[in-house]
Structure 1
Amino acid sequence: MKYLILLLIPVFSFQAKAQLDRKAIYSALASDSKEVVQKQLDGIQSVKESSEVKAFKGALQMKAAQFQKTAKDKLNLFNAGKKILESEIKSNDGNAEYRFLRLLIQENAPKQLKYSGNIDDDVITIVAGYSKLKESTKTALESYAKKSSALKGLL
């Protein structure tokens, strides 16, 4: 029994140290594949919860909403993700990465959701905080800026 416990400790330690794969998450947010988005949403469940994990989870839920079958399910999932992301932005107002996540969603959300009121503020925060972002986030941001009407020519 003692040996079994010793064998299991590394397994649990590895699971607790799982980290966000920003590159894969940003690829999923840019994807039109339900499976790709769901894979990232499922994978983020194994990462220890933090403000950062919550922000990505909220953004992924909002993206996943487009793949729901009914309008009610789409709206419910979108609003659940929005609540999570907005809460993290409120708690971390100057976080450029969270603002980038919201900008990604705002620029691509259907107009009827009326989720576009923070684009200008988000752009200001993103540009101001660009130099402090992780390299994987900078890469995703630079790629997105090429097709973003709000970021075009700013980076």
Structure 2
Amino acid sequence: MKFVTLFMTIVGFFVLTQNLSDIRVAYKEAANDKDKGKVEAFYNLLKDINKQNNVALVAYKGASIALKAKYAETLKDKKEGFIEGVSYIEFAIEKEPNAIEPRFIRLGIQENTPKVLKYKDHIDEDKLFLLKQYKNIPSKNLKSHIKDYILQSKVFSDQEKQSIINQ
């Protein structure tokens, strides 16, 4: 019985890790998409995720909802979709404040959100968190995605970017 439990845990971890790698790529593509095709694909990839799932998945679901809201037809629908998406991201951070991936996602959403939505309060906090925790990220895949983000981001200084390059 212990073997079966151990086997299922290992398989579940592998599937989650592989799934997160795919989701990270889809997030990056959706965030850089100029139309809604990749955003829709990203959203559909996460539609079955709920707040009981891994916090990284919950945060990505929030990002997918927030990105999808950009293409809503009315201003009201855009705002409501954005608020719903942000609620998932904030829930993930509240549940596990020291998890790096939800902070990375929140920073990306905050940086690219129009000022009128007033979702920029945690930029400095999340930026500092990423810079401090970067060297401790065990996943090479996640580390690569965060590095790519930092190097193209406008919220990081040249000196901060250089410190990431040197790690």
Amino acid at match of 1:151: F
* Maintained 8 Å contact 2:110/2:123: yes
Which shows bigger deviation, 142-151 or 51-60?
142-151
Secondary structure at the residue paired with 1:67?
coil
* Maintained 8 Å contact 1:59/1:82: yes
Q: Gaps spanning 5+ residues in structure 2: where?
A: 1-10
Residues 46, 115 of structure 1: CA spacing in aligned structure 2 closer, same or farther, 3 A cutoff? closer
Structure 1 match to 2:68: 64
Structure 1 match to 2:46: 44
Q: For 1:51 and 1:101, locate their aligned partners in 2 and report how far apart those are by CA, in whole Å.
A: 11
* Maintained 8 Å contact 1:145/1:152: no
Q: Gaps spanning 5+ residues in structure 1: where?
A: 1-12
Identity value in percent: 29
Amino acid at match of 2:55: S
Amino acid at match of 2:89: L
Q: For 2:35 and 2:133, locate their aligned partners in 1 and report how far apart those are by CA, in whole Å.
A: 30
Which shows bigger deviation, 78-87 or 18-27?
18-27
Which runs of structure 2 are paired with 1:1-155 in the superposition (5 Å)? 17=15, 19-20=19-20, 21=22, 22-45=24-47, 49-133=53-137, 134-153=139-158, 154=160, 155=164
Q: For 1:47 and 1:79, locate their aligned partners in 2 and report how far apart those are by CA, in whole Å.
A: 17
* Maintained 8 Å contact 2:62/2:87: yes
Task: Please give the TM-score of this superposition, normalised by the length of structure 2.
Answer: 0.75
* Maintained 8 Å contact 2:30/2:39: yes
* Maintained 8 Å contact 2:65/2:84: yes
Task: Please give the TM-score of this superposition, normalised by the length of structure 1.
Answer: 0.80
Q: How many residues align?
A: 141
Which shows bigger deviation, 30-39 or 20-29?
20-29
Residues 118, 47 of structure 1: CA spacing in aligned structure 2 closer, same or farther, 3 A cutoff? closer
Q: For 1:131 and 1:37, locate their aligned partners in 2 and report how far apart those are by CA, in whole Å.
A: 30
Of structures 1 and 2, the larger Rg is shown by 1
Residues 46, 83 of structure 1: CA spacing in aligned structure 2 closer, same or farther, 3 A cutoff? closer
Q: Which runs of 4+ in 1 moved over 4 A?
A: none
* Maintained 8 Å contact 1:95/1:129: no
Q: For 1:146 and 1:61, locate their aligned partners in 2 and report how far apart those are by CA, in whole Å.
A: 25
